[in-house]
Structure 1
Amino acid sequence: MNKKLISVLTTSMLTFSMLAGCASTDEKKEDTAKKEEATLTFMTNKVGAPSDAIKQVCENFTKETGIKVEFSAPGNNYEELMKTKMAANDLPDLWTTHGWSVARYSEYLMPLNDQPWFKDVSQSIKPVITDENDKIYALPVNMDIAGILYNVDVLEKAGVKVDDIKTWGDFEKALQQIKDAGFIPIHIGGKDSWTIGQFFDWVAPSFYVTNESSNFRKELKDGSFDMSKWSEVAGLFEKWNNAGYFNVDSLTSDYMSATQLLGEGKVAFEFYGNYGMTDALTKNKDAKLGFMPIPAKDASDQPTLIAGEDIAIGVNKDTKNKEAALKLLNYFAKADVLSELSSVSKMPSGINGVDSDTGMAKTYYDKYKDVKTMPYFDRAFLPNGMWDDMCIGGASILAKEKDSVQKAVDQMTQSYKDKINQ
């Protein structure tokens, strides 16, 4: 081969190599540009420290991947805003499902059973976030395992042992002991009306759904439930109100007053999630607090705990950024992220094997880890929107209006009929 031909071939190879290198560089630049152009929308119902922590995770994700995240936490307007977005089919790429991943949002969310963390979902939360076809639609970052809050010192001074309380009859005897000892048995912060609804959400399951051999789960869901039975739980509320087991200012006091009094050792029991324990400790860091399972209606059943979503994240099934959205979701599923967000909320993670700082509640999470859990009553067994009806009926009873139990039943009956098929 002559020198001229060798020179031509060498030049050609160098040119090809340079062009290939340029093409490769251009492709990398294009991939990077595409990655940087991807922008996800993320909305949450959380406020305060949990919201700040979620936002920080999104910012860390952007730093690591170049994928931008438009974060929004509208607070009290969240639920109505999400309903509007559902109606307009204008939902974000990801959002926190605040207890409604199955009942309200499942038709808008991507099933997530094929994700790598699915096999590690805790059995305590799995039934709550699983539909009838065993599909789940949200990553349970943490889980809201709740019972009845109590002040340890108050119960000791009144001679009440929570381990002896199995039924509402047992609980009622304890309330009388506590009242006789000079303490407020139960605090209701009715100025914040949701605290009234909370009582019914905690108590109703024991009357209508927890008993495996005698329950109305099917009837409640298919619209055939006889809502006149609501007189049982409404009647219990009236009985305890008339007996003086609630604070006398149950309609004018509020939630923050409730947690302060719990921390100060003036109240025995409160029907709130374990966030109430955290808030009470901010008022008195030396308070000794705990939570107990919710008693059964009678001896034919067993006490239960309530399980619900706290920070649970779903992905819009119609997102135009599926790959990026799943990447963010699985970033949230990293053990260190799960641990951090669960610790901020003082709740256990919904993924097995993840440690979190649950503070004083840890003793009780461990103690009751084998107690059966049930979902929040209104989310699982009432038509969407009946929470307000429980609050309104309960307020009438607290005010000792004439025929208040029947009014509460009528309120629930009409609303149930109106909303069951909506």
Structure 2
Amino acid sequence: MKALLKISFTLLICSIVLIGCSDGSNKESGKVTLSLFSTVTNESDQQAIEHAAAKFEEANPDIQIDYNFPGGDYEDMLRVKMAANDMPDLFDTHGWAQQRYGEYVMDLSDMDWVADLDPALESIFTDDQGKVYAYPLNQAKDGLTYNKHVLDKYGIKPPETFDQFMDALEKIKEKSNGEVTPLWFAGSEKSQLGQFLDEFATPLLITHPEHNFSKELETGSFDWSKYTFLPKKLKEMQNKELLNEDVLTAQIHELPQLLAQDKIGFVMATTPIQSVKELNPDAELGVIPVPAIHEGGEQSWIGGERHTMAIWKDTEHPEAARKFIEFLAQPDLVKAIAEGTSLPAGLTNATADVYYSDDYQKYADVQVEPYFDRIYLPSGMWDVLGNTAQELLSGALTPEQVSESTGSEFERLRDQGK
């Protein structure tokens, strides 16, 4: 059986690698085919990219875009492709334009759209030598998404602190008689649970001046018992039935329907509204910054790089790939993609009428902090956050064991990356 599993895994890896082994041209039709891999999972996000690709193909009939949305398998597939040095022609760097994918991407600094790059993203996409690593389809500004109907119905104000957040969850459960899930996760995808640990790590360990462990994390001397608060709270939520009962099997495609039916109070990060509105035009959602954890702490947005388009430096069709990105940088498409993903645009040449604009304006004075894992954790830790959260909720790990495991993996991956 072990031998059979080894053969199956080998065949799987080979098949993934072979996806990119074609020369990207359709000799019978004379077309160039560009492979495109993206991390987007929401249907409305995918439709925004598909629409842009269709418009490009209409304007450039000699180029075809072969887009792929692998979902939770994205990182594993890209790791295999990096190891084989056989990347997609176009791919999403999803927060790792420089650190993880830097040596695989083409320098885009001579492209016209660079002059319109939002100044808030310059340090993320540009290095000291002026290399530009990727094109930003939008930019992240994450916190919590909440259902306005649910909070209004039960007289709950958007929370500013973690204690208020817990109180809000308990009120939703109590006042709805369990009919509304206070905090919902599509936990079949580990990244959904990892989002909780990653976002709340910032107010727990970074932003409060008396609880700032950035130096310890950077030097590798951090005491991981100080992280246990987060897995403890996540397990407490499960024990108090503040999470969906099917938290470990729920899938992301279920989210729009449940929000449209007012069956969810909160979800992590920013949820696209389009697919929810299609099911219920009267649906209303809001977004708030991540609540403060320590007394005297402040809320913070978690942001920076979100969905991008990078060009593989060894693509056989560099001109076609560059042509596609320049096409995306047209103001009408900058606006359309940002609005389609319900996030601010990455360029300044267009103003997107984003559904959450009022919320972003309301909290305009709240500091935007980078994602915790992108600054303080070595490559590979995103999987660790998601895996340990799944094991916690399945009962395989205690909160203390989550911290121990996270700390051990932190040290191993940090040493591996030196």
**Structure 1 residues 317, 291: CA separation in 2 closer, same or farther (over 3 Å shift)?**
same
Indicate conservation of the 8 Å contact 2:95/2:304, yes or no: yes
- After superposition, give the CA deviation of every residue in 1:209-236 in whole Å (9 maximum; x if it has no partner): 3346753334434533333322121122
Structure 2: give runs of 5+ residues left out of the alignment. Answer: 1-28
Indicate conservation of the 8 Å contact 1:293/1:303, yes or no: yes
| C-alpha displacement of 1:395 | 2.9
In structure 2, distance between residues paired with 1:251 and 1:327? 42
Aligned equivalent of 2:51: 53
| C-alpha displacement of 1:128 | 4.1
Is residue 2:361 matched to residue 1:406? no
Match of 2:308 among 284, 290, 312: 312
Is residue 2:198 matched to residue 1:205? no
| C-alpha displacement of 1:400 | 4.8
| C-alpha displacement of 1:362 | 3.0
In structure 1, distance between residues paired with 2:60 and 2:81? 25
| C-alpha displacement of 1:297 | 1.8
| C-alpha displacement of 1:308 | 4.2
Given residue 228 of structure 2, which amino acid in structure 1 is its aligned partner?
Answer: S
In structure 2, distance between residues paired with 1:188 and 1:421? 32
Greater Cα offset, 374-383 or 262-271: 374-383
Structure 1: give runs of 5+ residues left out of the alignment. Answer: 1-35
Aligned equivalent of 2:37: 44
Is residue 2:102 matched to residue 1:106? yes
Aligned equivalent of 1:230: 227
Given residue 175 of structure 1, which amino acid in structure 2 is its aligned partner?
Answer: L
- Secondary structure of 2:97's counterpart equals coil
Aligned equivalent of 1:377: 372
Given residue 307 of structure 2, which amino acid in structure 1 is its aligned partner?
Answer: I
In structure 1, distance between residues paired with 2:282 and 2:346? 29
**Structure 1 residues 256, 416: CA separation in 2 closer, same or farther (over 3 Å shift)?**
same
Aligned equivalent of 2:151: 155
Indicate conservation of the 8 Å contact 2:139/2:305, yes or no: yes
Aligned equivalent of 1:167: 161
- After superposition, give the CA deviation of every residue in 1:29-74 in whole Å (9 maximum; x if it has no partner): xxxxxxx9995734221474134124224414524xx6x3553425
In structure 2, distance between residues paired with 1:217 and 1:111? 31
In structure 2, distance between residues paired with 1:222 and 1:39? 47
TM-score, normalization: structure 2? 0.78
In structure 1, distance between residues paired with 2:299 and 2:244? 25
**Structure 1 residues 380, 285: CA separation in 2 closer, same or farther (over 3 Å shift)?**
farther
Bigger Rg, which one: 1
In structure 2, distance between residues paired with 1:204 and 1:139? 28
Match of 2:267 among 270, 275, 281: 270
Given residue 178 of structure 1, which amino acid in structure 2 is its aligned partner?
Answer: I
Is residue 2:341 matched to residue 1:345? yes
Aligned equivalent of 2:236: 239
**Structure 1 residues 89, 247: CA separation in 2 closer, same or farther (over 3 Å shift)?**
closer
Is residue 2:415 matched to residue 1:418? no
Aligned equivalent of 2:9: none
- Secondary structure of 1:421's counterpart equals helix
Pairs aligned (count): 379
Indicate conservation of the 8 Å contact 1:106/1:137, yes or no: yes
Is residue 2:74 matched to residue 1:84? no
Is residue 2:142 matched to residue 1:146? yes
In structure 1, distance between residues paired with 2:264 and 2:319? 51
Indicate conservation of the 8 Å contact 1:40/1:325, yes or no: no
**Structure 1 residues 374, 348: CA separation in 2 closer, same or farther (over 3 Å shift)?**
same
Indicate conservation of the 8 Å contact 2:190/2:389, yes or no: no
Given residue 51 of structure 2, which amino acid in structure 1 is its aligned partner?
Answer: A
**Structure 1 residues 257, 315: CA separation in 2 closer, same or farther (over 3 Å shift)?**
closer
Is residue 2:176 matched to residue 1:178? no
- Secondary structure of 1:420's counterpart equals helix
Aligned equivalent of 2:68: 73
- Secondary structure of 1:391's counterpart equals helix
Indicate conservation of the 8 Å contact 1:40/1:93, yes or no: no
Aligned equivalent of 2:192: 195
In structure 1, distance between residues paired with 2:123 and 2:215? 16
Given residue 368 of structure 2, which amino acid in structure 1 is its aligned partner?
Answer: T
- Secondary structure of 1:117's counterpart equals helix
Q: Percent identity?
A: 31
Is residue 2:323 matched to residue 1:330? no
**Structure 1 residues 128, 176: CA separation in 2 closer, same or farther (over 3 Å shift)?**
farther
- Secondary structure of 2:187's counterpart equals coil
